[in-house]
Amino acid sequence: MPNRTTVTVFLLVGFSDVRELQILHFVAFLVIYLAALVGNLLIISAIAVDRRLHTPMYFFLVILAILDLGSLSVTVPKSMVNSLLDTRVISYPGCVSQVFLFFVFTTTDFALLTIMAYDRYIAICHPLHYERVMNKRACVQMVATASIACMVFSALNTGNTFMLPFCQSNVIDQFFCEIPQLLKLACSDSNLIEVGLFAIGAILASSCFIFIIVSYVQIFKAVLRIPSKLGRHKAFSTCLPHLIVVSLLICTSFFEYLKPTSGSRSGLDLTVSVLYSLVPPMMNPVIYSMRNKELKAALKKLTVGRLVSRT
């Protein structure tokens, strides 16, 4: 039987042991974090200030920006501090909190993107029923239900993960605490409950993915039936940013979790981890503001108006 010791701290894998590269990692993550922070806060502020954007689509966009900020704030600051102080330590409670919060934000993010696909489906395929179906109460209820369900599911996964005894090592092959990497450190294989929870998670994620695909198939059919070229362009312009965000999140996540596992952590593995955990939250504000004329106008009004008022 392997020796079982009580783990009080975990060690996160760094990007490099060279001091200069650690500082470079700190600066790079700082730039990414500040860019995502400014971008998402601008989105939230522009929508909050402009009353014309107080619609379900932009309400969901504000929630998405909040979730993106949350997922980044859970992982990036700790990694930056470790690089700056030349340490890899994260406490046991800190690791538990990081796992739970990152799981909550990412799963709620995916659930919200599914709700946003439904919103676009109703807006384009059933426009006469849109105000009745997507009223303020319904939007709040959908977001609240998705958030509570994801919190419960995250708590179950986190609790079952940390109930396992860790005896293989306390070194996590990731720059933040993550369930798949923690399961590699367990003394025994994942118990039946853990396997069941992951199976349920895979089924739910697949269901959301299929729902999004089916929604957009119906949307594209409806858009192609619009006689006006301007109408088709307007419909596509409201759907394209959401579709790009969904594709970015799904592709990076699938590449991270479906790639072959190796015994040692490589630079490519860490690069992929950065892609799926940092790039989507940073790129979402750019993607949504790039094709949306109303949002670009609100952002311009917000930034230019503040500059003019200061001068």
Tokens 């894998």 sit on residue? 13
Which of 55-69, 132-146, 203-217 has the least mean pLDDT? 203-217
Would the pLDDT of 2 be above 50? no
Cα(first)–Cα(last) distance of the chain, in Å? 73
Domain that holds residue 28: 18-310
Number of domains making up the chain: 1
Question: How far, rounded to the nearest angstrom, does the alpha carbon of residue 204 sit from its chain's CA centroid?
Answer: 16
Sheet containing 9-12: order of strands: 89-91, 9-12, 171-172
Would the pLDDT of 235 be above 60? yes
Q: How far apart are CA 177 and CA 79, in angstroms?
A: 10
CB 37, CB 284: distance < 8 Å? no
Would the pLDDT of 1 be above 70? no
* R_g over Cα of the chain: 21
Q: What is the structure's pLDDT at 135?
A: 92
6 inside domain: no
Q: How far apart are CA 117 and CA 111, in angstroms?
A: 10
Would the pLDDT of 261 be above 90? no
Q: What is the structure's pLDDT at 291?
A: 63
Which among 286, 306, 245, 249 is positioned nearest to 39, based on CA atoms?
286
pLDDT-based confidence at residue 173 (cuts at 50, 70, 90) = confident
Q: What is the structure's pLDDT at 53?
A: 85
78 inside domain: yes
The tens digit of pLDDT for each residue in 7-22 reads: 788 888 877 778 888 8
Would the pLDDT of 294 be above 80? no
Mean pLDDT of the chain: 82
1 inside domain: no
Percent of the chain past pLDDT 70, that is, above it, reads 85
Would the pLDDT of 139 be above 70? yes
141 inside domain: yes
Q: What is the structure's pLDDT at 206?
A: 83
The tens digit of pLDDT for each residue in 191-232 reads: 666 677 777 777 888 888 889 889 888 988 888 887 877 777
79 inside domain: yes
10 inside domain: no
200 inside domain: yes
Would the pLDDT of 167 be above 70? yes
Q: What is the structure's pLDDT at 279?
A: 81
Percent of the chain past pLDDT 90, that is, above it, reads 27
Q: How far apart are CA 96 and CA 99, in angstroms?
A: 5
Q: What is the structure's pLDDT at 290?
A: 66
- DSSP H helical ranges for the chain: 19-49, 56-85, 92-125, 130-133, 136-163, 179-183, 192-224, 229-258, 267-277, 279-291, 293-310
pLDDT-based confidence at residue 95 (cuts at 50, 70, 90) = very high
127 inside domain: yes
Q: Read off the pLDDT of each residue in 264-278 and give the average, rounded to a whole number.
A: 68
CATH at 293:
1.20.1070.10
Q: What is the structure's pLDDT at 87?
A: 87
Q: What is the structure's pLDDT at 225?
A: 83
| HSE (side-chain half, CA atoms, 13 Å) at 167 | 10
